[in-house]
Chains A and B, each alone.
Chain A
Amino acid sequence: MRLSIDTGIKKDLTTIQMATLDAKLHSQIPSLVGWSYSPLTGELNLNLDDSEDTALLSKIQDLLAVGQLTLNLNNLKDSALFSKIQDFLVKVGGVKVLRFEILGTTKQWAE
């Protein structure tokens, strides 16, 4: 699962700044596999692990099976992972979610 957020900052990172950001992100999100940040756009992309992709995909498939979901990711707000992401965003504060993607299904918020 991948999440893109707008940091509002467009600045290249030194290796020391990268290490600091890496430590902070991992302390907030244990399932974080990787992240990338572009000084051109200020976007921070978080790559979370495959197992949670699978868990979320199973949930989507279950909801689809009973006709409760038409791939509207708003319906996933009750999932534990989505709550975790929301918690993270509250903690880091002042960021705007741009995109939220599960295996190619994307929810994009207006900029």
Chain B
Amino acid sequence: MGRITPQFTSNKTLNITYQTPQETLLATPDTLPTSEPATPQVSYTVDSAWLPALNIQSFSKVYVAQLHAAGKCPTAATVSWRMKKNGASVATGTVSVATANYYYNIMPNFYDVAVGDVLEVALWSNQTNSQYDYKACAISISRVIIINADVMLPCNFANYDYYPTLSLGTPTVYTQVVFRIYNDTLEIQLGSAANVGAVKLNKSYGLFRVYHADIYNPNTATTLSYQTRPRYCKNYVPTQIILRGLKL
């Protein structure tokens, strides 16, 4: 049963500030072992300072982490990997580097991370001379609900950006994929800033979902072989949303 008189909240402007990714490029590459190491080469403990900052307290949200692990293979090799969250195996896989002196690029996506979570990637190779020299961690936000109301009116995705931007090594971008917004169950790809008018709030997906690590490849990895590293995927992310809640 709806209200006779709908209730509006005040107009709110949500600003989302994404943090500079954590990046390390080793001056001297490590040599990968030929069997799975007990101690993963890549290890990050999620810090509160790495999380996107919101200027308004949210009703709910999900943080997703994109890690990167990369290195050169002086001869053709198959590099195996295992990603772990708090010591438990989340996903496994391999990447084949068919051309000598190419790099493997592994991008593990962890869905739903929190401060204190330990995110790890173990690497090993079928060759004795494969290397590891680059790691990174960037945290995005998805499924944000600011106002737990039925309808957002307006719902203006006023500003956006691509995230992360990596700087060490020789970064090249593989894909930049737009986020999805929801009007109830209808999924809409948003390719530019837009005032989408009124939307019925999807309680599962919130105002938007980022592509990598939520819609695509949550809790698994994208892998590439390329002539440089890091070669990586960016998420198109909203940085400002102007909205008002409406309870029916």
Within the complex, the shortest CB–CB distance from A13 to chain B, in Å, comes to 5
B221 at the A interface (CB under 8 A): yes
Known: A34-B93, A34-B96, A36-B92. A103 touches B175 (CB 8 A): yes
A47 touches B222 (CB 8 A): yes
Q: Once the chains are docked, how many angstroms separate the CA of A99 from the CA of B177?
A: 15
Q: Once the chains are docked, how many angstroms separate the CA of A39 from the CA of B90?
A: 6
The residues of A that contact B18 with a CB separation of less than 8 Å are none
Residue in contact with B92 in the complex, picked from A18, A33, A41, A99, CB distance below 8 Å: A18
A34 touches B36 (CB 8 A): no
C-beta contact mask, A58-85 vs B, less than 8 Å → 1, else 0? 0000000000000000000000000000
**Count class of interface residues, chain B:** 20 to 34
> Interface size on A (CB < 8 Å)?
28
Interface SS of B by simple majority:
strand
Residue in contact with A37 in the complex, picked from B91, B124, B177, B224, CB distance below 8 Å: B91
Known: A39-B89, A43-B220. A34 touches B35 (CB 8 A): no
A6 at the B interface (CB under 8 A): no
Sort A-B residue pairs by CB-CB distance and give the 4 closest, nearest first. Answer: A34-B223, A36-B93, A34-B95, A38-B91
5 more A-B contacts (CB under 8 A) besides A33-B95, A39-B89, A101-B216?
A18-B94, A26-B96, A34-B96, A34-B225, A36-B92
